[in-house]
């Protein structure tokens, strides 16, 4: 089937309307009419080939929500009409240690929702800035939020799981002081989730304008990280830091805020390296630097259910597809609270 999409033909070109093909659903496939798609900073990195290796045409989008419109003969868990989501993963080998553990995100053959290998035309996957997508049922998530929240659920499919997974892995909970660095799409979800898990959350932002807003998200304290005096007040006091910043920056001021044995996990994925760490920032207090990539399918379902139970959704600004280029420019200036979401109905016109 031919459907409408929004994408780019080259890294230095704006996104524009285009037609793409979707396969007919196979026996294990679920066909989804996409209602909304969140706009992740990874979409910008990819469509502009900031990570290199982008295949064109590039149709980004991996925060997908919608309704099942058809299901293959062997699909047992989903039926037409169900509210579902697709995140960053649409395939993997299905039999390695990582897949067996439900950690498809770490499978060597993980296929991303866009820019991944596929037998479908044009030979690489095309994402959620489109009217429809067809995905193997293993990678389809069930949405249990009320339907009126559907647009604000979309960002959970990447921003939600990318922050939930490390918060769980590093066992964030009551009695802990947790830092979230960078209050964008990921960071604002990190604050909400760490707060819901019972931690004392400290938000670190470069934007004075987010000081009050970050409190409303659940941060007990907010630090403008450009201010050394404010940073010093938290020296050696944090158990864990989740760093979501999308650009290279000096990590050492943040290590110095960790207690002995504290860890900082990087989830931000800038296109060039950070200029640090200084070894002594780590060895003096046996601190750790780590990374984390999205989350597996079972944990993504767990996160969606946790959010439904706790009434957690993203704070969003809805846009039409043709506003996407302007939305990218605003994201690069930090001018969004906190996630743009495309109304995919706007693709039809
Ligand atoms: P975003 O909405 O644009 O937020 C990034 C935030 O970083 C900004 O709002 C800003 O927060 C802070 N920042 C500080 N200096 C910056 C600078 N020079 N340029 C850009 N941001 C700066 O981005 P996002 O969608 O949350 O994504 C954040 C990063 O995570 C991206 O690199 C993305 O590719 C990556 N990512 C990784 C994974 C993974 O699996 N590890 C998954 C999804 C996304 P303040 O104003 O508060 O300082
Ligand atoms: Zn993403």
Beta carbon of 10 within 6 Å of any ligand 1 atom: no
The string of DSSP letters for 215-235 reads: HHHT-SEEEETT-HHHHHTTT
First CA to last CA across the chain, in angstroms?
18
Can you give the pLDDT at residue 169? Answer: 98
Q: Distance between CA 349 and CA 340 in Å, rounded?
A: 20
Site to probe by mutation for ligand 1, drawn from 182, 212, 330, 340 as the one with most ligand atoms within 8 Å of Cβ, is: 182
| Cβ within 8 Å of residue 167, ≥6 positions away | 178, 190, 193, 194, 197, 199, 240, 242
Residues 107 and 139: beta-carbon distance below 8 Å: no
Decide whether any atom of ligand 1 lies within 6 Å of the 334 Cβ.
yes
Whether residue 295 has its Cβ less than 6 Å from ligand 1: no
Q: How confident is the model at residue 276 (pLDDT cuts 50, 70, 90)?
A: confident
pLDDT digit string (tens) for 239-275? 999 999 999 999 999 999 999 999 999 999 999 999 9
In this model, does residue 202 exceed pLDDT 90? yes
Q: What is the pLDDT of residue 326?
A: 98
pLDDT band for 52, please (50, 70, 90 cuts).
Answer: confident
Mean pLDDT for the chain overall: 97
Query: Angle, to 10 degrees, between the axis of helix 159-169 and the axis of helix 297-310?
Result: 100
Give which of 127, 131, 156, 129 is closest to 144, Cα–Cα: 156
CA gap 324, 328 in Å, rounded? 6
Structure confidence by residue, pLDDT tens digits, 121-172: 999 999 999 999 999 999 999 999 999 999 999 999 999 999 999 999 999 9
For 272-301, what is the mean pLDDT?
95
Query: Residue 349 has what pLDDT?
Result: 76
Q: Report which secondary-structure segment, H or E, holds 47.
A: helix 41-47
Residue ranges per structural domain of the chain: 2-158+295-304+314-348, 160-291
Identify the three-state secondary structure at position 204. Answer: strand
Identify the residue whose C-alpha is closest to ligand 1 atom 23: 41
Fold exhibited by the domain 2-158+295-304+314-348: Quinone Oxidoreductase; Chain A, domain 1 (3.90.180)
Q: Is the peptide bond before 338 cis (omega within 30 degrees of 0)?
A: yes
Backbone phi and psi for residue 311, each to the nearest 5 degrees, phi listed first = 65, 35
Does residue 42 have its Cβ closer than 6 Å to ligand 1?
yes
Structure tokens at 106: 């770490």
Joined together, the tokens standing for residue 147 give 């339907």
Topology of domain 160-291 in CATH is Rossmann fold (3.40.50)
Closest atom of ligand 1 to CA, residue 186 = 26
Residue 40 beta carbon below 6 angstroms from any ligand 1 atom: yes
For residue range 32-42, what is the model confidence (pLDDT) as tens digits?
999 999 999 99
- What is the structure's pLDDT at 277? 86
- In Å, how far are 86, 118, 218, 307 from 149, measured between CA atoms? 16, 32, 20, 12
């Amino acid at each position: 089937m031919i459907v409408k999409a929004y994408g780019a033909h080259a890294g230095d070109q704006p996104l524009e309307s285009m037609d793409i093909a979707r396969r007919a659903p196979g026996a294990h496939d679920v066909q989804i009419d996409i209602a909304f798609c969140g706009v992740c900073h990874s979409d910008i990195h990819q469509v502009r080939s900031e990570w290199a290796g982008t295949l064109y045409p590039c149709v980004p989008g991996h925060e997908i929500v919608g309704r099942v419109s058809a299901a293959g003969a062997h699909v047992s868990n989903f039926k037409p009409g169900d509210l579902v989501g697709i995140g960053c993963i649409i395939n993997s080998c299905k039999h390695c240690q990582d897949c067996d553990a439900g950690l498809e995100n770490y499978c060597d053959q993980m296929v991303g929702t866009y820019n991944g290998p596929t037998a479908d035309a044009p030979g690489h996957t095309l994402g959620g800035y489109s009217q429809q997508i067809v995905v193997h049922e293993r990678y389809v998530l069930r949405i249990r939020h009320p339907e009126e929240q559907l647009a604000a659920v979309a960002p959970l499919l990447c921003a939600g799981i990318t922050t939930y997974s490390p918060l769980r892995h590093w066992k964030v909970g009551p009695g802990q002081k947790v830092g979230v660095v960078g209050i964008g799409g990921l960071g604002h979800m990190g604050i909400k989730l760490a707060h819901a898990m019972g931690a004392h959350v400290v938000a670190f932002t470069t934007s004075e304008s987010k000081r009050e807003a970050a409190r409303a998200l659940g941060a007990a304290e907010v630090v403008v990280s450009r201010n050394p005096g404010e940073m010093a007040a938290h020296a050696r006091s944090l158990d864990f830091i989740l760093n979501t910043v999308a650009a290279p920056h000096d990590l050492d001021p943040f290590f110095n805020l960790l207690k002995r044995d504290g860890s900082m996990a990087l989830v931000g994925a800038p296109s060039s390296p950070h200029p640090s760490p200084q070894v002594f920032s780590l060895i003096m207090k046996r601190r750790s630097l780590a990374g984390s990539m999205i989350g597996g399918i079972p944990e993504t379902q767990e996160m969606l259910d946790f959010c439904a139970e706790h009434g957690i959704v993203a704070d969003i600004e809805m846009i039409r597809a043709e506003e996407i280029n302007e939305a990218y420019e605003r994201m690069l200036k930090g001018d969004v609270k906190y996630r743009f979401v495309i109304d995919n109905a706007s693709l039809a016109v």
